[in-house]
Amino acid sequence: MKSTIKKIAVLTSGGDAPGMNAAIRAVVRSCAYHNLECIGVYRGYEGLIEGDFKELDARSVKNIINRGGTFLKSARSDGFRTKEGRAEAYKQLKNANIDALVTIGGDGTFKGAIVFNEEFDFPIVGLPGTIDNDINGTDFTIGYDTALNTVVEAIDKIRDTANSHNRLFLVEVMGRDAGDIAINAGIGAGAEEILIPEQNMGRDRLVASLKRSKLSGKSSSIVVVSEGDQIGKNIFGLAEYIRENLEDYECKVTVLGHIQRGGAPSCYDRVLASRLGVGAVDALLNGERDVMIGIVHNKVVSVDFVESLKGANNIDEDLIRVADITSI
């Protein structure tokens, strides 16, 4: 089937993630390769509503594969949540003769795309871009690997000072409702305990476990706390509880925050973003729409948008076991 698509727009939406620039670059260059026009949309759905567009050619995306953030900028758009906002966005796409859209972002971005497609039957392909790794239908999201490396590097530094002072550190990491960053960075950084939303440990069990660690000869401890964890949500309250119930340790808190979202993307994220960006344009030219392009068992796949949203986040039980065993 010969495709009727001649002009593709690309945008980044939601929380930025390292590797988004590499994904935009791959979409733009793939369009150039197939002799298609490419339009960059600034500030995600917000810029779509306002028609904040810029033509992009192969040279417009030079020297960005190594840069964190997104040069198209990103936003969490309230306007796109309204019917009027989406109608305005559709008008802007039509006025600019755009035939299809590639959206790079997380599940909020995909939810917006699903509604937009239902209302206007407009071809959209999504790329999973979020540090949280909380999208179904793909083994990895763009930005996750870089964020893991950032977290591990930070915890390595915290360990130096924790060890020098025989202290206990609670280190809060991002992930919204998903424990992927916490469990993997926790294992990688050799954390004593890892608190994730998918498994409620409870304050008492945490304190009992830290006591056991101390008795076994550990002089300092790192507890990685996912921001969405039940008892970790109020990390300063948790630190207070530990101080009251575990006198042997001085307990400190570090919230890593948005440094986890920045920085040059890892090689893995650059390659992943490049593969998925090329995959997005291929999918559109093959007549696919309303799908996300992901990676499963190291192969590029397309997944129904709806499938990408389904269900709660899963953590591999084996990871939890490995964390338990290696932190003994």
Catalytically annotated residues: 132
CB 45 within 8 A of CB 112: yes
Question: Which are the contacts of 263, defined by CB distance < 8 A and separation ≥ 6?
Answer: 18, 68, 146, 150
Report the distance separating Cα 217 and Cα 25, nearest Å: 51
Closest contact distance (angstroms) between CB of 195 and ligand F6P is 15
**Which residue stretch of 169-177, 217-225, 263-271, 311-319 sits at the interface with ligand F6P (rule: CB under 6 A)?**
169-177
Report the distance separating Cα 93 and Cα 52, nearest Å: 11
**Which residue stretch of 63-71, 173-181, 244-252, 287-295 sits at the interface with ligand F6P (rule: CB under 6 A)?**
173-181
Identity (one letter) of the amino acid at 320? I
Which residue from 120, 78, 83 is spatially nearest to 101, judged by alpha carbons? 120
Identity (one letter) of the amino acid at 240? E
106 binds ligand F6P (CB under 6 A): yes
How many positions of this chain bind ligand F6P (CB under 6 A)? Answer: 10
176 binds ligand F6P (CB under 6 A): yes
Burial 113-150 (b: 16+ CB within 10 A, else e): bbebbeeeebbbbbbbbbbbbbbbbbbbbbbbbbbbbb
Q: Tell me how many degrees the CA angle 71-147-183 measures, rounded to the nearest 5.
A: 155
Closest contact distance (angstroms) between CB of 318 and ligand F6P is 24
**Which residue stretch of 62-70, 170-178, 215-223, 248-256 sits at the interface with ligand F6P (rule: CB under 6 A)?**
170-178
Binding mask 215-244 for ligand F6P (x = CB under 6 A): ------------x-----------------
Question: In which residue are the tokens 């960005």 written?
Answer: 64
Closest contact distance (angstroms) between CB of 115 and ligand F6P is 19
Binding mask 112-151 for ligand F6P (x = CB under 6 A): ------------------xxx-------------------
174 binds ligand F6P (CB under 6 A): yes
Closest contact distance (angstroms) between CB of 226 and ligand F6P is 9
Which residue from 50, 56, 35, 127 is spatially nearest to 93, judged by alpha carbons? 50
15 binds ligand F6P (CB under 6 A): yes
- Binding-site ranges for ligand F6P (CB under 6 A): 15, 106, 130-132, 174-176, 227, 261
